[in-house]
């Protein structure tokens, strides 16, 4: 389950990549956590739009948000059948832009954190669904949750679940509310093993208040090798000494 992620790309680069009409300005976020407002890309009247939504999905029929569990991930295998998510998956699919996410692996008494990101540091997009929740006082709250699938390859050594990423070629179709849910469901699969790299990082990510580049600083090589599960392909684990930079190279193309 993905419970933390990052979006550190400059706003103007993300706007070009995602193709939305708005021109928002937002700071780099290295440690985005549930219940916080998060950037979301939706499609309305044939155009893409940037919106902020609460990361924590609430179906419209919920009377009191305190009575409903915090839903930040939805299983892709059952999203079409579950009453809480079925309508949103059919008509309210969206993208959650990111350029990294975190997973934890338990070894003995310790939880070791890992950062997953593209080798070129370019942004990508989680497949997600959204819903507008209406409170008893008449106020409205847009809420969102990402979709996950079974993990495979390198990631399966760390966690059994993995976020679903929407490929560039599928983004328009995914956002199209007129596309049948059966067709959208065919896009719900984990990323190929060569799409993301994995970096062992330190414990700073464990605390939500830590939201700086130091969160993504790699762990030392010796500690990283000791913590990796024995069956994981250690040669694939990235061992970098520089903190990830927020900027992207000018020659990187649009992903969405």
Q: Is the pTM of this model over 0.75?
A: yes
* Separation between Cα atoms, residue 149 and residue 125, nearest integer Å: 15
146 neighbors 94 (Cβ within 8 angstroms): no
CA dihedral 240, 241, 247, 248 (to 10 degrees): -30
| Average pLDDT of the chain, as a whole number | 86
Query: Can you read off the two tokens belonging to residue 107?
Result: 């070894």
- Three-state DSSP class for residue 227: helix
What mean pLDDT is predicted for residues 25-47? 96
Q: Quick one: pLDDT at residue 154?
A: 81
Which tens digit of pLDDT belongs to each residue from 194-239?
A: 899 999 999 999 999 999 999 999 987 654 454 454 434 433 333 3
Residue 135 has a CB neighbour count (10 Å cut-off) of 13
* Separation between Cα atoms, residue 72 and residue 78, nearest integer Å: 15
132-136 LR contacts (CB < 8 Å, sep 24+): 132/60, 133/58, 133/59, 133/60, 133/62, 133/65, 134/60, 135/65, 136/63, 136/64
């Amino acid at each position: 389950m993905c419970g933390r992620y990052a979006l550190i790309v400059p706003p103007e680069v993300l706007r070009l990549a995602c193709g939305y009409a708005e021109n928002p300005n937002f700071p780099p976020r290295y440690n985005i956590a549930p219940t916080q407002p998060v950037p979301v890309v939706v499609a309305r009247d044939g155009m893409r739009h940037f919106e902020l939504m609460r990361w924590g999905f609430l179906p419209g029929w919920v009377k009191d948000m305190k009575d409903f569990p915090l839903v930040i991930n939805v299983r892709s295998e059952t999203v079409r059948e579950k009453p809480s998510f079925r309508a949103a998956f059919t008509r309210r699919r969206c993208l959650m832009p990111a350029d990294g996410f975190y997973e934890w692996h338990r070894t003995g008494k310790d939880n070791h954190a890992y950062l997953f990101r593209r080798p070129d540091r370019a942004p990508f997009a989680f497949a997600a669904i959204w819903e507008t929740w209406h409170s008893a006082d008449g106020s409205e709250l847009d809420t969102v949750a990402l979709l996950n699938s079974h993990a495979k390859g390198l990631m399966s050594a760390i966690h059994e679940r993995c976020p679903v990423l929407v490929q560039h070629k599928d983004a328009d179709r995914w956002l199209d509310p007129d596309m049948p849910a059966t067709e959208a469901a065919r896009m719900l699969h984990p990323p190929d093993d060569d799409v993301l790299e994995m970096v062992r990082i330190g414990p700073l990510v464990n605390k939500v208040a830590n939201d700086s580049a130091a969160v993504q600083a790699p762990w030392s090589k010796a500690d990283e090798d000791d913590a990796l599960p024995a069956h994981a392909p250690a040669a694939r684990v990235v061992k970098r000494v520089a903190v990830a930079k927020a900027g992207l190279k000018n020659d990187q193309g649009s992903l969405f």
